[in-house]
Amino acid sequence: MPNPVQQFELPGMPVGSPTEAQLLELEINKYKEALNEHGVLVTPAVGSRLLKVSNQRVCQLLNAGTLTRLVLLGQNWVPLQQLQSRLASPVPAGGRPKNLNGGRPRKIA
User: If pLDDT is split at 50, 70 and 90, which confidence band does 8 have?
Assistant: low
Give the tens place of pLDDT for each residue, 37-58: 989 999 999 999 999 999 999 9
Residue 3 reports pLDDT greater than 80: no
What are the backbone dihedrals phi and psi of residue 4, each rounded to the nearest 5 degrees, phi first? -65, -25
Domains along the sequence of the chain with CATH: 20-86 (1.10.10)
Cβ distance 105 to 99 under 8 Å? yes
**Shortest CA distance to 50 belongs to which of 60, 58, 40, 61?**
58
